[in-house]
Amino acid sequence: MSQIESPEVTVRGPDGDPAVTVIAGVHGDEPSGVRAIQRVLDADHEFERPVQFVYANPAALAADRRYVDVDMNRAFPGDAESDELEERLAAELLDVVGETPTLSLHATHSQPEPMALVSREYPTALETSAALPTPSVVDTSQTVDGTLNRCAPVVTVESGRQRTEDATDTATMVIETFLRLHDALPGTVATGDPRFYELDDVVEKPEDAPPGTASSELYDLEAENFELVSEGAVWATIEGEEVTADEPFVPILMSECGYQDIFGYKGVPVGESLADAREYWGMG
Ligand SMILES: [Zn+2]
């Protein structure tokens, strides 16, 4: 079977090295980002700096599958010599991105509101995320390895529920805002006003769960994403047993049907503004 084995890159705007990057399709079953890029390409925009638009995993997109061999967003920095397609694609994608400010679009099962994921190891990405029209910004630097935003100045945006028109609309607006913030499109940006969180812990499936069981067969979520669960509160039932919080946390990307191997994440609020968050993290 033949398949496209490299990211697909389209450059628009004036001649020169790409100054900004917009990525969709790191996960092949999230078409909203690809549709949003298509809309931006079809609009009559005059790009003022060279912009590269990238479909990260064309084979997975064509197959409408999350991935072909392994989850690409756990494979970074990747390996050009690997037998696994996504390991090779991850290495290639990092070369394409280089040092450019980058937006990577995803969609989720867990919530309709958009959210941004960044690594505070890249302060410029953190700064960009604060200006995007997403109500929540989450730093993933302490918990999740292998994601694109751990390896380059990338803002990852979950633009809404997978395969919805709303997710495509939101992704389109986020791309245009991102390009304005980086002077690639004319016009000003109304400043965003997100709250900031840090991912603290992964909620794994129970150890005695039969292999291959989906989260939906094990968990019932009794809390809302980004709403504080107080100490002692029941926040889920696992196979009929109530689970109480040992300490306060906010559920992040928790969903009964989202991931095969985990239920989601626990996070903590770190500030109501970028300044608060930077102070919490001792960033001066
Ligand atoms: Zn995704």
CA 15 to ligand 1 center in whole angstroms: 31
CA 121 to ligand 1 center in whole angstroms: 21
CA 25 to ligand 1 center in whole angstroms: 8
Q: Could you list the pLDDT tens digit for every one of the 284 residues in the chain?
A: 445 789 999 999 999 999 999 999 999 999 999 999 999 999 989 999 999 999 999 999 999 999 999 999 999 999 999 999 999 999 999 999 999 999 999 998 777 889 999 999 999 999 999 999 999 999 999 888 899 999 999 999 999 988 999 999 999 999 999 999 999 999 988 878 899 999 999 888 777 777 666 667 777 888 999 999 999 999 988 878 898 999 999 999 887 766 667 788 999 999 999 999 999 999 97
**Token pair for 196:** 């900031």
CA 106 to ligand 1 center in whole angstroms: 4
CA 103 to ligand 1 center in whole angstroms: 13
Per the domain annotation, does 173 fall within a domain?
yes
What CATH number has the domain bearing residue 53? Answer: 3.40.630.10
- In this structure, the answer to whether residues 94 and 234 fall within a common structural domain is no
Residues near 268 by Cβ (< 8 Å), separated by ≥ 6? Answer: 197, 198, 200, 248, 249, 250
CA 107 to ligand 1 center in whole angstroms: 5
- In this structure, the answer to whether residues 26 and 92 fall within a common structural domain is yes
CA 26 to ligand 1 center in whole angstroms: 7
Per the domain annotation, does 188 fall within a domain?
no
pLDDT for the residue numbered 239: 76
Do 168 and 129 contact (CB within 8 A), yes or no? Answer: no
- In this structure, the answer to whether residues 145 and 210 fall within a common structural domain is no
pLDDT for the residue numbered 2: 46
- In this structure, the answer to whether residues 79 and 208 fall within a common structural domain is no
CA 14 to ligand 1 center in whole angstroms: 31
- In this structure, the answer to whether residues 124 and 264 fall within a common structural domain is no
**Vertex 273, ends 268 and 276: CA angle to 5°?**
70
The parent domain of residue 263 ranges over: 199-270
Q: How far is it, in rounded angstroms, from Cα 28 to Cα 6?
A: 14
Per the domain annotation, does 1 fall within a domain?
no
Q: Which residues of 86-98 are buried (b: 16+ CB within 10 A; e: fewer)?
A: bbbbbbbbbebbe
CA 232 to ligand 1 center in whole angstroms: 32
- In this structure, the answer to whether residues 47 and 74 fall within a common structural domain is yes
pLDDT for the residue numbered 1: 43
Q: Which of 64, 102, 68 is nearest to 82 (CA)?
A: 68
